[in-house]
Amino acid sequence: MIESIVTYRSILGLVLAATGLLSADAFAISPRAVRVGTAKVDVTPTRPVVLAGYGGRTKPFGPIDTQLWARACVIGTNNPIAFLVVDNCGVPKAVKDRVAERVAKHGISQDRLIIAATHTHNAPSLVGYAPIVWAGRTSPQEDAASEQYTQFAVEQMVKAIVVALANREPMLLEWGRGRVTFGGNRRVIQDSGWRGFGLQSDGLVDHSLPVLAGRNEQGELRFVWANYACHCTTVGSRNAVGGDWAGYASMEMETRFPGVTALMSIGCGADIGPQPTGSLQLARQHGRSIAAGVEAVLAGDTTPIGFEPTIVSRQIQLPLETPPGKDFWERQLMEGTGFHHQLAKLMLQRIEQHGALKGTVEYPISVCSFGNELAMVFLGGEVVVDYAVKLSSELDWERLWVTAWANAMPGYIPSKRILAEGGYEAEFSQVYYAQPSRYKQEVERVLLDAVKDLAGPKFKNRGSQPPKNVHHPERGFRWEPRHEADAFAQLKNWVKTLDRESQRKLLSRLQSLVPTAQAGVDEDSLSGGKLDHWNDFAGDRTERVYIRQDRNDAELRWKCHTPSSKSASVQVYCFSGGTGWETQPKTDGFQLTVNDSLNLHFDLSRELSRWISKNGKLEMFYLPTWRSDVDTGGFFFIVLRDDAIVNTSPVSFSVRSIGQGSMRWFAIDSQQGMPQRLRSLQAALVQQEE
């Protein structure tokens, strides 16, 4: 028999043209209907609880930006498969097991249950998620609150599945693929090695947007499911509950398609971040981009699905490098602090219980097939984009859908390339997830071969390849301001549109100071710290000197010459630099000292901020103008009111870490570009009324 691929609309159009039948009659003649039910249940926390995603947040959440949801879709008649996407940073296997145990009595077996997370970093931490992040840092009351929320989330997830099971009705399924482009590779690579989080403009991405939809007997759209490979970190470490861009995407889809239940899952986006990033407004913008992409897919030709799904699952073992022995962990326990100390404690407990540490990680893979039309691959953990790229080559890309963050959270799953480059996804993230060592480079081949085996020969590559611009950014495309003029223009617009009263008050204070500001760093005087290249206030790579909070004696020093002709009671100094790695634990922060006499304490911030000394004679403002998921670049303003200092020259400054055990950093750009940048700042901040 010769197979041919036709579209849902071409079938429906031919039927209507030939017979003049109504949509209900066309429904009966079109590809076989499948029973589908959907439901969504609120999982927004109602009691104080610590949020997952950023280790620096140790207090229960504040406001609720958006509700959180568990969204279920159950497909099939006699042996239905339940798919559930929950607004959370990650669902550990033990939590999935609790849900599976509850839904088994409703006919949904463990192997026919898929639970994926949107990976929003603004949802409560479920018990067992990234265990080292909170080890030794939470109170018994906070641990109890996390357990209470986990139990509540389990109950709500079960409810969503049971309601969806009861809601099943005949539907015609269709699927298609669109494209959105706000995801950018966040691994900054220099000299073939990882340098930190930012935007690697030529890095791998996955801009594909697969969409699955169902229509009832009247042809009405009843559910839509979209999938995109990108971290849910647009709003940063704001200590508020919300679904980030994925939550807004579902909300926008349900607005554009009334009566629809929308699901939004995440592809292989472990090293992909939203661009631009840093606010709720941008999260909404990205959500609208997803909804617009879905709308375009459904307005075009889609492929009908006339089969109930089948599913195959397998637990495989991913190989680790040989874990260190007991002596290593005992030394680590004595020498290390923070996360490494907690990891050592846990590893020694495992050695005590089992005699040795396992050299493999248990890993779940599921492949759900809809006849020959579509293979949906579900992978556990935070899977880097290389796997989507390679599966798109080794399997038939035109019939492939890959979702990560599904069924378990063993940690990041790096590729062979990323293991060679090193860095967060390859190395330090293993600590968060309580893994004793890095993965071996064979991990990539083990995982890919298992997926191909489960997908079977019917989904092998038929020679069709994805468009190059799906996995590589378009030439000339920019997610962020890449030049000074763009950054200052964006700053000027921010000033015009700022609506938060607290921020407007700080801005008003800063605006009064900018006209008298002078260059705050003599570049040749910078000493201490380490030298590297990173994104500056405009997002451009620049050389800078930095210190971290990994030890409390790290110090950065510099001087500034006050013009001898200047006599004033207040001096204002400005310099460019930045702070970063906000996901790291919050410590006592940094101390700014002037002439060894005045000092104040400060720490990381993603918005306009002000700190002041106890005697009121020293102030510092920070105005961030560039943001990644965890870092910022911008301008610092130091205000001096001490008569013994303001007219002396030179004035000496230092910033010292007063915390330890954290990789948070403070940096000053080696090239300041003053006074031209001060003139540009004044033009952007101190605007004339129009």
Residue with tokens 């109950």: 155
Nearest in space to 122 (alpha carbons), one of 276, 300, 242, 11: 242
**With bands split at pLDDT 50, 70 and 90, how would you rate the model's confidence at 411?**
very high
**With bands split at pLDDT 50, 70 and 90, how would you rate the model's confidence at 269?**
very high
Q: What is the spatial distance between Cα 348 and Cα 326, in angstroms, rounded to a whole number?
A: 7
Question: What average pLDDT does range 135-152 have in this prediction?
Answer: 94
Which pLDDT tens digit goes with each residue over 623-653?
999 888 788 999 999 999 988 787 888 999 9
Average pLDDT, the chain: 90
Q: Please tell me the pTM assigned to this model.
A: 0.81
Whether residue 628 sits in one domain with residue 530: yes
Instruction: Please give the C-alpha separations between residue 662 and each of 55, 483, 553, 587, in angstroms, as whole numbers.
Output: 10, 31, 13, 7
User: For 243, phi and psi rounded to 5 degrees?
Assistant: -95, 0
**Do residues 87 and 123 make contact, with C-beta atoms less than 8 angstroms apart?**
yes
DSSP strand pairing (193-197 vs 187-190) = antiparallel
Residue 359 has pLDDT above 50, yes or no: yes
Give me the helices (H) in 104-182, please.
131-134, 140-166
**Per-residue confidence (pLDDT) for residue 16, from 0 to 100:** 37
Which pLDDT tens digit goes with each residue over 544-555?
999 999 888 899
Residue 565 has pLDDT above 80, yes or no: no
Whether residue 176 sits in one domain with residue 93: yes
What is the distance between the terminal CA atoms of the chain, rounded to a whole angstrom? 72
Whether residue 532 sits in one domain with residue 467: no
90 found inside a domain: yes
**Per-residue confidence (pLDDT) for residue 71, from 0 to 100:** 98
Q: What is the spatial distance between Cα 14 and Cα 30, in angstroms, rounded to a whole number?
A: 10
Whether residue 386 sits in one domain with residue 503: no
326 found inside a domain: no
**Per-residue confidence (pLDDT) for residue 224, from 0 to 100:** 98
Whether residue 408 sits in one domain with residue 526: no
Residue 15 has pLDDT above 80, yes or no: no
Q: What is the spatial distance between Cα 655 and Cα 593, in angstroms, rounded to a whole number?
A: 6
Which pLDDT tens digit goes with each residue over 589-633?
999 999 999 999 999 998 899 999 999 999 999 999 988 878 899
Percent of the chain surpassing pLDDT 70: 93
323 found inside a domain: no
Question: What average pLDDT does range 274-298 have in this prediction?
Answer: 94
Instruction: Please give the C-alpha separations between residue 197 and each of 539, 573, 664, in angstroms, as whole numbers.
Output: 12, 29, 12
284 Cβ contact list (under 8 Å, min separation 6) = 245, 248
**Per-residue confidence (pLDDT) for residue 602, from 0 to 100:** 96
663 found inside a domain: yes
Residue 464 has pLDDT above 90, yes or no: no
Whether residue 511 sits in one domain with residue 462: no
**Per-residue confidence (pLDDT) for residue 26, from 0 to 100:** 42
Residue 234 has pLDDT above 70, yes or no: yes
Residue 251 has pLDDT above 50, yes or no: yes
**Do residues 418 and 440 make contact, with C-beta atoms less than 8 angstroms apart?**
no
Side chain identity, residue 596: D
Whether residue 518 sits in one domain with residue 379: no
**Per-residue confidence (pLDDT) for residue 22, from 0 to 100:** 37
Instruction: Please give the C-alpha separations between residue 119 and each of 32, 154, 213, 231, 410, in angstroms, as whole numbers.
Output: 35, 17, 22, 7, 14
Q: What is the spatial distance between Cα 52 and Cα 128, in angstroms, rounded to a whole number?
A: 11
Q: For residue 551, what are the domain limits?
A: 484-685
Q: Which two tokens stand for residue 464?
A: 């069709």
Strand segments, DSSP code E, in 229-302 are: 261-266, 272-274
Question: What average pLDDT does range 386-401 have in this prediction?
Answer: 95
Whether residue 596 sits in one domain with residue 496: yes
**Do residues 110 and 78 make contact, with C-beta atoms less than 8 angstroms apart?**
no
**Do residues 36 and 222 make contact, with C-beta atoms less than 8 angstroms apart?**
yes
**With bands split at pLDDT 50, 70 and 90, how would you rate the model's confidence at 474?**
low
Whether residue 150 sits in one domain with residue 73: yes
Secondary-structure percent of the chain, ordered helix, strand, coil, rounded to 5 = 30, 30, 40
The total number of structural domains in the chain stands at 2
**Per-residue confidence (pLDDT) for residue 13, from 0 to 100:** 43
Nearest in space to 239 (alpha carbons), one of 583, 589, 620: 583
Residue 10 has pLDDT above 50, yes or no: no
517 found inside a domain: yes
Question: What average pLDDT does range 94-103 have in this prediction?
Answer: 98
Quickly list DSSP for 197-265: ES--TTS----EEEEEEEE-TTS-EEEEEEEE---B-TTTT-SSB--HHHHHHHHHHHHHSTT-EEEEE
How many CB atoms within 10 Å of residue 55? 22
Whether residue 407 sits in one domain with residue 495: no
Q: What is the spatial distance between Cα 361 and Cα 319, in angstroms, rounded to a whole number?
A: 7
Residue 567 has pLDDT above 80, yes or no: no
Nearest in space to 377 (alpha carbons), one of 353, 404, 358: 404
Residue 453 has pLDDT above 90, yes or no: yes
**Per-residue confidence (pLDDT) for residue 336, from 0 to 100:** 67
**With bands split at pLDDT 50, 70 and 90, how would you rate the model's confidence at 688?**
low
Which pLDDT tens digit goes with each residue over 161-217?
999 999 999 999 999 999 999 999 999 888 889 988 888 888 999 999 999 999 998
350 found inside a domain: no
**Do residues 466 and 267 make contact, with C-beta atoms less than 8 angstroms apart?**
no
**Do residues 651 and 595 make contact, with C-beta atoms less than 8 angstroms apart?**
yes
**Per-residue confidence (pLDDT) for residue 481, from 0 to 100:** 46
**Do residues 209 and 289 make contact, with C-beta atoms less than 8 angstroms apart?**
no
User: For 495, phi and psi rounded to 5 degrees?
Assistant: -60, -40
340 found inside a domain: no
**Do residues 425 and 418 make contact, with C-beta atoms less than 8 angstroms apart?**
yes
DSSP strand pairing (517-519 vs 571-580) = parallel
Whether residue 568 sits in one domain with residue 459: no
441 vs 58, higher pLDDT: 441
317 found inside a domain: no
User: For 419, phi and psi rounded to 5 degrees?
Assistant: -65, -35
Nearest in space to 15 (alpha carbons), one of 77, 7, 506: 7
Q: Which two tokens stand for residue 622?
A: 């920070």
Residue 385 has pLDDT above 80, yes or no: yes
Residue 5 has pLDDT above 60, yes or no: no
545 Cβ contact list (under 8 Å, min separation 6) = 526, 528, 529, 530, 531, 556, 667, 668, 670
322 Cβ contact list (under 8 Å, min separation 6) = 359, 437
| Eight-state DSSP code of residue 583 | T
**Per-residue confidence (pLDDT) for residue 113, from 0 to 100:** 98
- Which of 18-32, 98-112, 161-175 shows the lowest per-residue confidence on average (mean pLDDT)? 18-32
Whether residue 507 sits in one domain with residue 394: no
Which pLDDT tens digit goes with each residue over 176-188?
999 999 999 999 8
Nearest in space to 617 (alpha carbons), one of 596, 634, 600: 600
